[in-house]
Structure 1
Amino acid sequence: MTAPAAPSVRRLRSTARAILRFPEPESWLDVDTGDADFPEAARVFFPYTAFDGLDPTPRVLHAQAVERLEEGYQGRLTDPWITAHLRARYDVVSLLNPLADPGELQAALTVLRPGGHLLVESPGDPRAELESRGCTIIATTRRSAHVPARLTARLPRTLPPPVTGPLASAARALDHTLALLLAGTRFARTYRVIARKEPSAP
Structure 2
Amino acid sequence: MPTTDEVDRSRVAYRADLHLGTRRFFHPRSTACPWCGSADLRLRLRTTDLLQHKPGRFTLDECGGCGHVFQNPRLTAEGLEFYYRDFYDGLAAEQMDRQLEKEAGSHRARAEVVLPHADPKSWLDVGTSHGHFCSAAAQLFPDTEFDGLDLGAGVELGRQQGRIKRAYQGQFVDLADELTDRYDVVSMFHYLEHSAEPKPELRAAQRVLRSGGHLLIDVPDPECRFARLLGRWWIGWTQPQHLHFIPLANLRAELGRSGFDVVAVQRAEAHLPYDLAAATWLFVNHLAPRQDRPWLFDRPGLGRRAGRLAALIAGAPLMLAGMLLDRVAQPVADRLRLTNSYRVLAVRR
Give the structure-2-normalised TM-score.
Answer: 0.43
| Whole-angstrom CA distance in 2 between matches of 1:187 and 1:133 | 29
Of 195, 199, 213, the match for 1:116: 213
Please state if 1:86 is matched with 2:179.
yes
| Whole-angstrom CA distance in 2 between matches of 1:47 and 1:120 | 21
The Cα shift of 1:134 comes to: 2.4
Counterparts of 1:16-55 in structure 2, within 5 Å, are 16-55=111-150
Say if 1:187 and 1:52 are closer, same or farther in 2 by CA, change over 3 A: farther
The Cα shift of 1:5 comes to: 6.5
Two-structure CA RMSD over aligned residues (Å): 2.9
| Whole-angstrom CA distance in 1 between matches of 2:144 and 2:117 | 13
The Cα shift of 1:22 comes to: 2.4
Q: Is the contact between residue 180 and residue 209 of structure 2 (CA under 8 Å) also seen in structure 1?
A: yes
- Structure number with the bigger relative contact order (C-alpha 8 A, sep ≥ 6) is 1
Of 238, 262, 265, the match for 1:137: 262
Please state if 1:67 is matched with 2:67.
no
Cα offsets for 1:139-175 (capped at 9, x unmatched): 011131599xxxxxxxxxxxxxxxxxxxxxxxxxxxx
The runs of at least 4 aligned residues of structure 1 exceeding 4 Å deviation read 1-7, 183-188
| Whole-angstrom CA distance in 2 between matches of 1:146 and 1:30 | 23
Please state if 1:76 is matched with 2:203.
no
Counterparts of 1:145-184 in structure 2, within 5 Å, are 145=272
Which structure shows the bigger proportion of residues in helix conformation? 2
SS in 2 for 1:70: coil
Letter in 2 for 1:121: D
Which structure shows the bigger proportion of residues in strand conformation? 1
Structure showing greater radius of gyration is 2
Give the structure-1-normalised TM-score.
Answer: 0.72
Say if 1:129 and 1:52 are closer, same or farther in 2 by CA, change over 3 A: same
Cα offsets for 1:100-123 (capped at 9, x unmatched): 222111111111111000001113
Letter in 1 for 2:271: S
Matched with 1:155 is none
Matched with 2:239 is none
Deviates more, 1:186-195 or 1:65-74: 186-195
Say if 1:26 and 1:122 are closer, same or farther in 2 by CA, change over 3 A: same
- What 5-or-longer segments of structure 2 have no aligned partner? 1-94, 221-245, 275-318
Matched with 1:128 is 253
Letter in 1 for 2:166: E
Of 191, 202, 207, the match for 1:105: 202
SS in 1 for 2:173: coil
The Cα shift of 1:89 comes to: 0.5
Say if 1:5 and 1:78 are closer, same or farther in 2 by CA, change over 3 A: closer
| Whole-angstrom CA distance in 2 between matches of 1:5 and 1:56 | 17
Say if 1:4 and 1:58 are closer, same or farther in 2 by CA, change over 3 A: closer
